Amino acid sequence: MITRQVKHVAVLALALGVVVATVPRGVAAPSSSTIYSFGATEPIDGAVPKGSLTSVNGLLFGRTTTTIVTARPSPTPIGSYGVIFHFDPNNVASSYSIDHVFAGHDFDDGDNPRHDAMTPFNGLLYGTTLEGGTHNNGIIFSIGQDGTNYQVLLSLHNSVGDESHSCFVVANDILYGMTASGGDNGEGVIFSFDPAAPMPTPTATPTPTPANFQTLFSFACASSTGKEPHGRLTLDPDETTLYGMTRKGGEHDLGVVFKFDTNGEIYTELHDFAGGDSDGATSDHGYVVQSGDHLYGMTTNGGHHDDGVIFKIKTDGSSFDLLHKFGETHHDGKNPYGSLLLVGNKLYGTTANGGDNDLGTVFVINTDGNNYQRLYSFGGKTNNDDGSKPIDNVILVNGWLYGMTTEGGALNQGAIFKVNPTPSRSPTPAPRPTPPR
């Protein structure tokens, strides 16, 4: 149970706009990828990040799911809550700063921001939280791209959609997103949010859909749609078609790939995940990336060993193909939870498990399925305070891949890492043929 006194610690930090420099505890030896260990900044820091970083104006921003008091000898959690932080990648140790400490439902603030990166738009960063807000169903918020002027823009509630796991894609000055719950059938929604429209006045009782928020589609239990989407949407260059994935639903209840036409509000299922040796299963919170007429994505499960897959599919739903089955080679990564980063003809990503220490990996693969290579295997706290268990995507900044882990680091509260995107060894050999059953 979290006492009122402890909650006031978080609110005090919020009111004061805590901005403090980190101690150099997060700087690690060359054999570690860690550049910052969560729990190192006093008096309050974030911990257990479950999202990815956002690059704007030379700074990297991120969020964590948990807030901790960094009293020694060990950090003490004060609730889920979480923080927004930023740092300069050229000097992490002296620039890491806390921009906002979430205060939770009791203060009509957000709580427990989850996957994905915040969305830059018109000089602000937009994001969501899974919980908190007036109805404790999550919020939509904004913060300046300098880390100031945090605002709660909207408290979600069940009738319009709640529990948003990811952030937004922008089309024609409108933010589009999804929730994992709520809506007409309680299985999540696709929604639009107009940040320029007048904001509704917060009330204790759910009100009719506000003018700046519109539920466009409600997922259902029926096998004809997916349900419980945890990821972000992807915008086609035509700026009217959105692509996405769901975690569950479809004929096999293992999720689907879909497209949504914002003009006619038409939902079309492109692929129904079936699991097994030749298909994926359960996209936990990932999204698809687009190159030309192909979409690329990952699922946490599926494939020969049920360790997840990388797939591609045409935007019309044809030509579904697996580019890689995780766990087929010695010390390969396993169970990707996040999304891919597309750079030219290369796809970068992370796995939560597998690798040399079974603590996750960073990998690269060509869009044609060739030259899959593990770029890094995480070592965990006992290996030079390295991070472990990354569950979201990486970003490319100044020629380096940056991301976060949920565990590991000096205080085992998670870490920010930096990895070279250039492979240092020959490609992973092709997997051995599967013996006949």
Residue 433 pLDDT: 43
Residue 4 pLDDT: 30
Task: Considering only residues 435 and 59, tell me which one the structure prediction assigns the higher pLDDT.
Answer: 59
Instruction: Respond yes or no on whether the N-terminal peptide bond of residue 208 is cis (omega within 30° of 0).
Output: no
Average pLDDT, the chain: 89
- Considering only 75-84, 119-128, 308-317, which range has the smallest mean pLDDT? 75-84
Q: What's the distance, Cα to Cα, between the start and end of the chain in Å?
A: 52
What CA–CA distance (Å, rounded) separates 240 from 144?
Answer: 28
Could you tell me whether strands 395-397 and 400-405 are parallel, antiparallel, or unpaired per DSSP bridges?
antiparallel
Residue 72 pLDDT: 66
Residue 9 pLDDT: 39
CA nearest to 341, candidates 322, 367, 379, 323: 367
pLDDT tens per residue across span 382-423? 999 999 999 999 999 999 999 999 999 999 999 999 999 998
Residue 84 pLDDT: 98
**Residues 22 and 51 sit within 8 Å (Cβ to Cβ):** no
Q: What is the mean pLDDT of residues 88-116?
A: 96
Q: Rounded to whole angstroms, what are the CA distances from 182 to 16, 170, 397?
A: 35, 22, 36
Q: Is the pLDDT reported for residue 329 higher than 70?
A: yes
Q: In sequence order, which residues have a C-beta less than 8 Å from that of residue 155 and are 6 or more positions away?
A: 108, 133, 134, 135, 137, 138, 139, 202
Residue 16 pLDDT: 32
Percent of the chain with pLDDT over 90: 81
pLDDT tens per residue across span 242-282? 999 999 999 999 999 999 999 988 999 999 999 999 999 99
Percent of the chain with pLDDT over 70: 87
Q: What angle do CA 402, 388, 32 make, to 5 degrees?
A: 65
CA nearest to 166, candidates 132, 138, 204, 147: 138
Half-sphere exposure of 258 (CA within 13 A, CB side): 31
Residue 210 pLDDT: 72
Residue 411 pLDDT: 93
pLDDT tens per residue across span 2-31? 333 333 334 434 433 333 333 333 333 346
Q: Is the pLDDT reported for residue 220 higher than 70?
A: yes
pLDDT tens per residue across span 135-174? 999 999 999 999 999 999 999 999 999 999 999 999 999 9
Q: Is the pLDDT reported for residue 311 higher than 80?
A: yes
**Which amino acid belongs to residue 261?**
D
